[in-house]
Amino acid sequence: MKKRDRGITMLWAAIAVGLFIPLLTVQAATRTWDGGGGDSSWINDDNWSDNTEPGPDDFVVIGGTAVVNYDRVSPLHFNSTAPIDINDTATLNLTTGALSYISSTGNDSPITVASGAVLNISDGTHSIGGRQMMFSSGIMRVTGSDATINMFQMPGFNGTFDFVFDAVGVSSLDYNSWMAGGAQGVTVDASAYTGSSKNFTLIQTSDTANGLINPLTGTISVIPPSASWSSTVTQVTGSKGNLTLTLLEPGTILYDDFRTNGLANNTIKRNSQWAGSSDWSWTSGTLENTNTTKGVGICFPVPAGITTENALEIDLGYAVANGSTAVAMHMWGLKDVSSSSTTEIMNPWGTAGMWYAGGGNLVQYNLKDGATGYNSTPATAAVQIPSDTGAGLSYSTTLKLGGLGSGLSKLSDYDYIAVGFQKHSYSPDLSIDEVSIRALLPSGTVISIR
C-alpha cells in the first residue's frame, strides 16, 4: 500500500474510533425535577435538570412540593442501578402507560418514598421488581380501579397503604413474592363507591411458600360509602396472604362471594357455615355442584337490631350449564326452643328436595307458605330461580314475610334463617358465585343493622 493510501486509511480509522468512544462512555445521570417546563408532565424535558427526561439508566430525584404526572405512553424500563427517590412532600402520579423496574438481584430498592411523600398509582400497567422500600410516613396510594400493579417484594416499613375508591372499586397491589408486614397502616376511602355489597382484595401475594409473612400492625381506617354501610378489613398471613375489605349495604344479613374456603361436607347446622353433600365443592370463588341434585346451604342467626322488617331482598350470581329445570332456593325461618343444641338443621343429601332434619329443638317455617312440614320438595321452595342457561347470570327478587301464620309477620319473629340451594336435574351444572340477602322495612326502604 502506498504511504498516501495508508495515511488516509489511518485517518478514517481515527475518525471512526473518535465517533464510537463517546457511545461507550455515556454515563448514567441524576435527573432532578425542577419544574422548568411550567407543568407537571414527566415527558416534558424542560421539567428536568439538563432539560432531559430521565432514561432507563438515570437516577431520578423528585423533591420539594412537586407533583409529577407520569404521562409517558410508551413503556419505560428502568434498570436495577436506576432508583427513583420521592422526597419531602412530593408526589409521583403513575397515570398512564407502563413503568417497570428490572431487578438484577431481587434486593434492589427501586422506589424510595420518604416521610411525607406520595407514590400514587391511578392508571396504566406497572411492574416494579426488587424490593420497594418505603420509610417513615411515606404513602403508597392506589386511586381508582383502572391500574394493574405488580410488585416483587415488600420488606417491613412504617408507611401507609392508602386506597381511594372510584364508583366501581379500587385496584389491588399484587406481589409475586413475599411481603413482610410491620407497622404499616392502611387507610381506605370508599365514599365514591356506588355498587352493592362486595369483597375487595386490597393487597395479595402469590408466593406459595411465604406470602404475607407477618400481619400489618398499624392503624386501619375505612370511610364507607355512607355511614349506614358496614365495613370489615381482614388479613390472611402465610401462603398467598392477602388483605381484604368487605363492604356491606345497610340491612345485609347474609353476603358471600365464596372467596374463603369454608364448605363442610356435612349436614347443615347453626354455625353460619356453608355445608352440603359431597357432590358440592368450593372451586375458585364459587360453590359448584359436581354431581346429581343434592343440595348445599347455611343456617345463621337473625342479627341484632332487626325489628319491623317484613321482607327480604335477595340477589344472586350464578351459572347454569343446562337450564332445563329451575334452581330452587329453599328458605326457612326457625324459632329457637333450645339454643344449646347444635344438631343438624337441614339434610342436603336428599334428591327430591332440601330436607328439614327436625333437629336442634327448633320449630321451622317454610318462608314460602309458613308450612312446618318435615321436608321441602322443589315445588315448596321459597324462591324458584328461572331456567336460564349460561355463565354470569344474576337474579333479584323480594320475598315478603307477611301472611305466613299467626305471629309470623316480620323477620324478628324468627331466631335463625336457613337457606338451601338445589338444582333438580341429574347433571353437575350449577355454580353459585355470590349471594346477598338484605332486610327491608314495610315501606321497602332499607335500614342499617350495624
The torsion defined by the Cα of 249, 253, 256 and 260, in degrees rounded to 10, comes to 110
CA distances from 88 to 43, 92, 115, 125, 346 (A): 22, 12, 7, 26, 62
- The per-residue pLDDT for 106 is 53
- Rounded to whole angstroms, how far apart are CA atoms 115 and 134? 8
Q: 219 has which bridge partners? A: none
- Rounded to whole angstroms, how far apart are CA atoms 132 and 111? 6
- The per-residue pLDDT for 334 is 85
> 216-226 burial, b for 16+ CB within 10 Å, e for fewer?
bebebebbbbe
CA distances from 440 to 50, 247, 383, 411, 413 (A): 65, 18, 17, 9, 14
Q: 121 has which bridge partners? A: 94, 142
- State which amino acid sits at residue 24: L
264-265 and 275-276 beta bridge pairing? parallel
- Rounded to whole angstroms, how far apart are CA atoms 263 and 319? 19
Would you call 97 helix, strand, or coil by DSSP?
coil
Q: 223 has which bridge partners? A: 189
- Rounded to whole angstroms, how far apart are CA atoms 106 and 217? 25
Sign of CA dihedral 97, 83, 122, 50: negative
Q: What Rg, from alpha-carbon coordinates, does the chain have?
A: 30
- The per-residue pLDDT for 43 is 96
What is the chain's pLDDT, residue by residue, as a tens digit (450 residues)?
A: 444 454 445 444 444 444 444 444 446 799 999 999 999 999 999 999 999 999 998 999 999 999 999 999 888 888 867 788 999 999 999 998 888 887 655 556 678 889 899 999 999 999 887 666 665 679 999 999 999 998 887 776 778 999 999 999 999 999 888 888 778 899 999 999 999 999 999 999 888 788 888 888 889 999 999 999 999 999 988 887 889 999 999 889 999 998 876 788 777 887 788 888 778 888 778 888 876 667 888 988 898 888 888 999 999 998 888 766 778 888 888 887 665 556 667 777 665 555 665 555 777 888 888 877 655 677 778 888 887 888 899 999 999 888 777 678 889 999 889 898 887 665 557 889 999 999 987 654 443 332
- State which amino acid sits at residue 42: W
- State which amino acid sits at residue 402: G
Q: Which three cell numbers stand for residue 50?
A: 439538563
Of residues 325, 269, 320, 277, the one with CA closest to residue 298: 269
Kindly state the DSSP code that residue 224 receives in the 8-state scheme: -
Q: How many CA atoms lie within 13 A of 368 on its CB side?
A: 17
- The per-residue pLDDT for 24 is 41
Domain 255-440 has CATH 2.40.10: no
Query: pTM for this structure?
Result: 0.81
- Rounded to whole angstroms, how far apart are CA atoms 330 and 198? 23
- The per-residue pLDDT for 177 is 82
Q: Which three cell numbers stand for residue 342?
A: 347444635
User: Which regions of 241-310 does DSSP assign to beta strands (E)?
Assistant: 242-248, 252-256, 264-265, 275-276, 280-283, 286-289, 296-301
- The per-residue pLDDT for 243 is 92
